[in-house]
């Protein structure tokens, strides 16, 4: 069952949006979601909520309004892209968009996949200078490939503490 966090610190909240919010978002963008079952959308919304908590915990500006709240939002000390202070009782629209986009992506792929390294170690070089430095080279099968979701990152960018994050690029 989906429980909506609306900025009032809802106990047990597991989503920022309803299935109807999800459908309205995509309808506004000209994408028909009538073939999607509400229960499936709810599952993906909950998955997106959990993924947001895992992926961005410790990387955001401000702090949670209540340390016991289930989601990363609402937060105190946030400003929007234009520098306007955001109320601590409001879930920013970017977060609602992020969840809609993430739930849509989750129809076909994992946003935060487990990466398996199946290549063999080809060579390990160790150099000792002022500190020990080790370089490991893998065969081609060892290359790590994780999807990058630039639109999701763009929705989160205004809230990221830039001094603590290096993986979101321009």
The string of DSSP letters for 128-170 reads ESSSEEEEEEE-GGG-------HHHHHHHGGGB-GGG--SS--
Nearest to 101 by CA among 170, 45, 50, 157: 45
pLDDT in tens, 67-94: 999 999 999 999 888 889 999 999 999 9
| Bond from prior residue into 36 cis (ω within 30 degrees of 0) | no
Question: What pTM did the predictor assign?
Answer: 0.79
| Model pLDDT, residue 97 | 97
- For tokens 């919010």, the residue is 21
pLDDT category at 63 given cuts 50, 70, 90 is: very high
Please give the Cα distance from 160 to 11 (Å, whole number): 25
């Amino acid at each position: 069952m989906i429980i909506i966090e609306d900025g009032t610190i809802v106990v047990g909240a597991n989503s920022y949006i309803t299935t109807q919010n999800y459908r309205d978002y995509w309808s506004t963008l000209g994408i028909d979601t009538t073939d999607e079952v509400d229960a499936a959308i709810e599952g993906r919304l909950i998955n997106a909520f959990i993924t947001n908590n895992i992926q961005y915990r410790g990387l955001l500006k401000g702090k949670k309004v209540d340390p016991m709240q289930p989601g990363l939002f609402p937060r105190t000390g946030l400003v929007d892209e234009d520098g306007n202070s955001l109320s601590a009782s409001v879930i920013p629209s970017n977060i609602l968009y992020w969840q809609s986009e993430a739930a849509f992506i989750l129809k076909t792929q994992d946003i935060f996949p487990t990466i398996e390294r199946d290549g063999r170690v080809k060579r390990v070089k160790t150099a000792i200078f002022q500190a020990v430095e080790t370089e490991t080279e893998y065969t081609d099968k060892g290359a790590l490939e994780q999807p990058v979701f630039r639109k999701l990152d763009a929705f989160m960018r205004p809230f990221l503490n830039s001094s603590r994050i290096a993986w979101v690029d321009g």
